[in-house]
Amino acid sequence: MNKKKLKFAVIGCGRVSNNHLKALTSGKIDGELAAICDVDGKKAKAKSEEFKVPYYLDYHDMMKKHQEIDVVDIATPTGYHARHVIDVARYGKHIIVEKPMALRVSDCDAMMKACADGRCRLFVVKQNRFNPAVVSARQALDSGRFGKMVMGTVRVRWKRVQSYYEQDDWHGTWELDGGVMSQQASHHLDLLQWFMGPIESMQCISATRLLDIEVEDTSLATFKFKSGALGAYEATVASRPEDLEGSLSLLGEKGTVIIGGHAVNKILYWKFQDEQPGDMHMLSESSQEVPNVYGHGHSPYIANVIDAIVNSKPALVEAPEGRKNIEILTALYESAALGGHKVHPGCTVVKSLLGQKPA
């Protein structure tokens, strides 16, 4: 007997939507694409023809005509996430929202309240947590193989040129996008705190070096975690002439793991004091080639969401994890606005520049 597949709608037909649409039409997960929506009729029509589903310019119209929808997948510009989630929650459908969850912690809270009122669940996309290299490293952490953590480092050295920011008027703005920290490197910031634990304090400096945009294209930050371990965060979209890496290094008293590649997709170094039989194959078996910096994580991510809904159990990344990321980003932007002043997650020393133009 074939089990019923959850029906999905996707709102937003921009660059990242392809990863969602391909995952939902791959036949590899128990989800089925039912409809798509975008305010840009040309984009919506093109995706409709490619993926063989009806398209809409108004998501309220789509929701009314497709009451069979179980999950709404929101892949619109970040500055619209809060409004779109709050609107869709009124229909009582479960929601996936792309990273970052929003641009303000207060928006995250409003989104969570709307979903609680609508009795629906809110999931936030962090697909890199599902990369085989990251999964293996997390299993090593959970089994205690690292011992006391010493340092965690992430580096995002990617290339984005001016034409990337000019293809849509929201790219590179404070109001709807944010810079390299909130966009391209927010996944890596998520991995850093996921492995290293709660943050005690952080310091950040940022700059706009090569691009004509409102926001930063380059940032550096340091962290002190509550465990006593230290962290470093390097992020730029001013890498030239090409993408270089999206990496994560984990150093503990009993071992070290370095994950590299363009999208934290390859184990470059894996060594622990307590060697295990599988260690010698880890570099080959837990690494994968990727077509671009998005990697292959959207399919297993959506599969995890489906499993959580169908079996009424927690998913790996739900709204509280997404909110945590925004709280850390807010503190980073506050530190940068203060010229690298030490701040703490949840601090309100100055009003974050996220979601508004600086004075």
Residues 99 and 154 in one domain: no
**Same domain? 208 vs 257:** yes
> Domain for residue 357, yes or no?
no
**Within-domain flag for 352:** no
Q: Are residues 91 and 139 in the same domain?
A: no
Position 2 confidence tier, pLDDT thresholds 50, 70, 90: low
Q: Is residue 313 part of a domain?
A: yes
Model pLDDT for residues 112-163, shown as the tens digit of each residue: 999 999 999 999 999 999 999 999 999 999 999 999 999 999 999 999 999 9
Regarding whether 266 and 245 lie in a shared domain, the answer is yes
Q: How far apart are CA 236 and CA 11, in angstroms?
A: 29
Q: Are residues 170 and 204 in the same domain?
A: yes
For the stretch 293-337, pLDDT in tens is: 888 999 999 999 999 999 999 999 999 999 999 999 999 999 999
Q: Is the confidence at residue 3, as pLDDT, over 80? A: no
Confirm whether 254 is domain-assigned.
yes
Cβ partners under 8 Å of residue 335, min gap 6: 202, 203, 204, 205, 221, 341, 342, 343
Report the distance separating Cα 227 and Cα 149, nearest Å: 8
Residues 154 and 53 in one domain: no
Considering only residues 3 and 258, tell me which one the structure prediction assigns the higher pLDDT: 258
Read off the pLDDT of residues 12-52 as tens digits, 9 standing for 90 and up. Answer: 999 999 999 999 999 999 999 999 999 999 999 999 999 99
What is residue 137's predicted lDDT score, i.e. its pLDDT?
98
Matching residue, tokens 């703490």:
344
pLDDT at 283: 95
Distance CA 223, CA 239 (A): 23
Number of separate domains in the chain: 2
Q: What percent of the chain is predicted at pLDDT more than 90?
A: 91
Q: Which domain holds residue 194?
A: 132-291+324-337
pLDDT in the model for residue 1: 43
Residue 351 lies in a domain: no
- Interval 70-102: pLDDT, tens: 999 999 999 999 999 999 999 999 999 999 999
Burial of 330 per CB tally in 10 Å (0-12, 13-18, 19+): buried
Q: Is 150 helix (H, G, I), strand (E, B) or coil?
A: strand
**Statement to judge: residues 230 and 286 lie in one domain:** yes
Let me know whether 138 and 286 are in one domain: yes
What is the predicted pLDDT for the residue at 113? 98
Compute the distance between CA of residue 352 and CA of residue 337 in angstroms, rounded to an integer. Answer: 8
C-beta of residue 108 within 8 angstroms of C-beta of residue 102: yes
Instruction: Provide the CATH number for the domain around residue 106.
Output: 3.40.50.720
Share of the chain above pLDDT 70, in %: 96
How much is the mean pLDDT over the chain? 95
Q: Decide if 1 is inside a domain.
A: no
Residues 114 and 201 in one domain: no
Judgement on whether residues 151 and 258 belong to the same structural domain of the protein: yes
Other Cβ atoms within 10 Å of 356 Cβ, number: 12
pTM: 0.95
Neighbours of 155 (CB within 10 A): 18
Give a yes or no: residue 354 inside a domain: no
Residue 281 is assigned to a structural domain of this protein? yes
Kindly state whether residues 228 and 269 are assigned to the same domain: yes
119 and 188 co-located in one domain: no
